[in-house]
A and B are shown apart, each in its own frame.
Chain A
Amino acid sequence: MAKLNLLLLLVLVVCALGLVTSQHKARKLFTELEREQGRARELDIEYGKLQLEASTWGLHARIEKVATGTLGMRTPDPRRVRVVEREATR
């Protein structure tokens, strides 16, 4: 009887220690998750900033200015543009 009790006590101690370590691990992992989520948020914000930058650079007015000014491009004469009809079903 006493032997069994001793065994059970041992099991209990092991379980208790296991609980403590897993709790600790869980918290560590959670901190990491939290950090990654924070990073995701930062990247999201960065994405928004880059989008803003992209649309600022890509302003139609600016593209037109660069195209006609710096690059010397111009709209083709409509007579030299061919409109091709898409075949409805192939």
Chain B
Amino acid sequence: MSAVAASSMVRLPVWRARLVMAVLIAAFAVLAARSVYLQALHTDFLQGKGEARYSRVLEIPGTRGRILDRNGEALAISTPVQSIWAIPGDVAATPAQMKSLAKLLGVEPRELGKKLGDASRDFVYLRRQIAPEQAEQVARLGVPGIYQHREFRRYYPGGELTAHLVGFTGVDEAGQEGIELAHQARLGGVPGSRRVIKDRLGRVVEDIESIRAAQDGKDLQLAIDGKIQNLAYGALKTALAEHRARAGAAVVIDVRSGEVLALVNLPTFNPNNRARLSGEQLRNRALTDSFEPGSTLKPFTVALALEEGKVTAKSVVSAGRDSLRIARFTIHDQHPDAGSVNVAQVIQKSSNVGAAKLALSLPREDLWDLFNRAGFGAAPQLGFPGEASGKLRPAKTWRPVEQATMAYGHGISVSLLQLARAYTIFARDGEIVPLTLLKSDAPAPGTRVISAHAAREVRAMLELAVQPGGTAPRARIMGWRVAGKTGTAHKQENGGYAPDKYIASFVGLAPASAPRLVIAVMLDEPSAGKYYGGVVAAPVFAQIAQGALRLLHVPHDAPLEPVPLPGEGEEAREST
């Protein structure tokens, strides 16, 4: 028995043990290879899958900066609104629910049904950007398959008052017009994102990393003074209605800093409700439209004549009821009083003949150079979209008749803001100041264009123009001396001048003793019978100047006596 057992114990073939050993080693090798594959080669994918169970990427919104006026009052603010969207396939609503939903969203029930009817779509906006209170009511209906998410919408408390300047944004909060467009990079917020760990209840328990930091847009403070803007708007609106003008614009410039304190255009629009907008309403006339300015350009010709020492203020340039023939054109004056006209009276009474004669006595290159340095023919570099540069042709293409007409502002076109800026030459004793739409508060260095002496002399002439006997006695105000020039230009139409369509304008400085403001006013096609700049535009200037000087606490430089208004037709007339 034991022998049998013993004999069966001996001699198992060795290869079997080896085989088992080899199989085991192979199995281990497979395991090792698999673990190398998982741990080393495939690890990124697996780790990503694992993290996906608990880590989430959260969006951090970046809010758009506010736009403020110079006193810190808001002109544009972003505020949260809700957008309602749905997965059409998941929506299950009773007819009553559908009805109240349509009512809450302010859409036709039929249209709502159409939007929700297409079950193949995964996402459909039912209504974008509604008030949070409304959205809460929608949520309370509890219709499955309807969701909402937060968006930001721009509101403009200033409404139509500052619409042209501030501009507006699109539905995605990107600037589309005005300052909103021009300063998009500064105002716009950049949304960020971060990776976090969420627990079973959806609470964020740990920050893993910040993928991209959110950047809120920066606030932007404009040079605009809300009070002066409101004043200018009111004055212009009244004048527009009174004279049945098609359009109008007004700008107010602080002479010391070059800041634009007010910029008004009419007709205007409400940026909070842009459902029906016409191009007419959207046009920023003061900045993006150029027009032939007419007589408001005369002071520049006179300034150059004085500067070159050709004449003095007292030199007689034309004889009263004169007219001037150049080639086949005749230039007339409209004022009735006979007698000789001296240089000062060219401005005071707005004599076309006088201005033309002065212009013809000057080298055309010099005249071009002055216009160029006064900023005509070049955009004012405000960084505003669509600034007009106006039209100033090169001097060597001028014919004599053009040189003569340019002296009184025909054959050259400028924007109202360019014109106002050019008048800072007379306000700052010969220096032109760069303009800015942003608040600076610091005096801006100017560039000398003409000598201080010539500038002061022209300013004195401009003051004569608003005295009785000048073209704009209605520009005067109580308590401050003012100075300025009227313009009444025929409108250009189909390559010629329309006989009965005018642009009435007035550009003035106040107070005349030490100018602080330049105010330019323009009315397009006043059609209630009166169209002279001195009658239509000058009173608007007076109203704005009176209020603005008071608001800016400018000391009086004239006795506080009521200014007698001229009677009907008493002021000197002009034809350009």
Q: Which residues on A are within 8 Å of B, measured CB to CB?
A: 26-27, 30-31, 34, 44-45, 48-49, 51-52, 55-56, 58-61, 64, 75, 78-79, 81, 83, 85
B230 close to A61 (CB less than 8 A): yes
Which residues of A have CB within 8 Å of B73? Answer: 55, 58
| Of B66, B74, B555, most A-chain CB atoms within 10 Å | B74
Q: Which residues on B are within 8 Å of A, measured CB to CB?
A: 63, 66, 73-74, 77-80, 155, 157-159, 161, 199, 203-207, 226-227, 229-230, 234, 478-479, 546, 550, 553-556, 560-561
B556 close to A52 (CB less than 8 A): no
- Identify 8 new A-B residue pairs, CB closer than 8 A, beyond the known A27-B205, A48-B79: A30-B205, A30-B207, A56-B157, A59-B157, A59-B158, A60-B161, A78-B550, A85-B555
| Of B157, B226, B478, B546, most A-chain CB atoms within 10 Å | B157
Which residues of A have CB within 8 Å of B79? Answer: 45, 48-49, 52
Which residues of A have CB within 8 Å of B206? Answer: 26-27, 30
Q: How far is the CA of A48 from the CA of B67 in the complex (A)?
A: 12
Q: How far is the CA of A44 from the CA of B79 in the complex (A)?
A: 10
Q: Among the listed B74, B155, B227, which residue makes an inter-chain contact with A60, where contact means beta carbons less than 8 Å apart? A: B227
A52 close to B155 (CB less than 8 A): yes
| Of A30, A58, A59, A60, most B-chain CB atoms within 10 Å | A60
Which residues of B have CB within 8 Å of A27? Answer: 199, 205-206
Q: How far is the CA of A79 from the CA of B480 in the complex (A)?
A: 12
Q: How far is the CA of A31 from the CA of B74 in the complex (A)?
A: 35
Residue of A nearest to B547 (CB): A75
Q: Among the listed B74, B204, B230, B555, which residue makes an inter-chain contact with A34, where contact means beta carbons less than 8 Å apart? A: B204
Q: How far is the CA of A28 from the CA of B519 in the complex (A)?
A: 63
Which residues of A have CB within 8 Å of B77? Answer: 48, 51-52, 55
B207 close to A60 (CB less than 8 A): no
A31 close to B204 (CB less than 8 A): yes
A55 close to B205 (CB less than 8 A): no
| Of A44, A55, A59, A79, most B-chain CB atoms within 10 Å | A55
B203 close to A34 (CB less than 8 A): yes
Which residues of B have CB within 8 Å of A45? Answer: 79-80
Q: What would 19 A/B residue contacts be, using CB atoms closer than 8 Å?
A: A26-B206, A27-B199, A30-B205, A31-B205, A34-B203, A44-B63, A45-B80, A52-B77, A55-B73, A55-B157, A56-B157, A58-B73, A59-B157, A60-B161, A60-B230, A61-B161, A64-B230, A79-B561, A83-B556
Nearest 7 A-B pairs (CB), nearest first?
A55-B157, A60-B230, A27-B205, A79-B560, A55-B74, A78-B479, A34-B204
B478 close to A78 (CB less than 8 A): yes
Q: How far is the CA of A60 from the CA of B231 in the complex (A)?
A: 9
| Of A58, A61, A81, A85, most B-chain CB atoms within 10 Å | A61
Which residues of A have CB within 8 Å of B546? Answer: 78
B555 close to A83 (CB less than 8 A): yes
Residue of B nearest to A86 (CB): B553
B560 close to A78 (CB less than 8 A): yes
Which residues of B have CB within 8 Å of A60? Answer: 161, 226-227, 229-230
Q: How far is the CA of A64 from the CA of B207 in the complex (A)?
A: 52
Residue of A nearest to B233 (CB): A61
Residue of B nearest to A54 (CB): B74
Q: How far is the CA of A48 from the CA of B226 in the complex (A)?
A: 19
Which residues of B have CB within 8 Å of A61? Answer: 161, 230, 234
Shortest CB distance A80–B (Å): 9
Q: How far is the CA of A80 from the CA of B78 in the complex (A)?
A: 43
Shortest CB distance B163–A (Å): 13
Shortest CB distance A90–B (Å): 19
Which residues of A have CB within 8 Å of B203? Answer: 31, 34
Q: How far is the CA of A48 from the CA of B80 in the complex (A)?
A: 9
Contact (A52, B157) CB under 8 Å given A60-B227, A78-B478: yes
Which residues of B have CB within 8 Å of A64? Answer: 230
Which residues of A have CB within 8 Å of B230? Answer: 60-61, 64
Q: How far is the CA of A32 from the CA of B81 in the complex (A)?
A: 26
| Of B205, B206, B207, B479, most A-chain CB atoms within 10 Å | B205
Residue of A nearest to B229 (CB): A60
| Of A31, A34, A78, A83, most B-chain CB atoms within 10 Å | A78
Residue of B nearest to A59 (CB): B157
| Of B204, B234, B555, most A-chain CB atoms within 10 Å | B204
Shortest CB distance B232–A (Å): 11
Which residues of B have CB within 8 Å of A31? Answer: 203-205
Which residues of A have CB within 8 Å of B478? Answer: 78-79
Which residues of A have CB within 8 Å of B556? Answer: 78, 83
Residue of A nearest to B554 (CB): A83
Residue of B nearest to A24 (CB): B205
Shortest CB distance A72–B (Å): 19
Shortest CB distance B38–A (Å): 27
Q: How far is the CA of A71 from the CA of B73 in the complex (A)?
A: 24
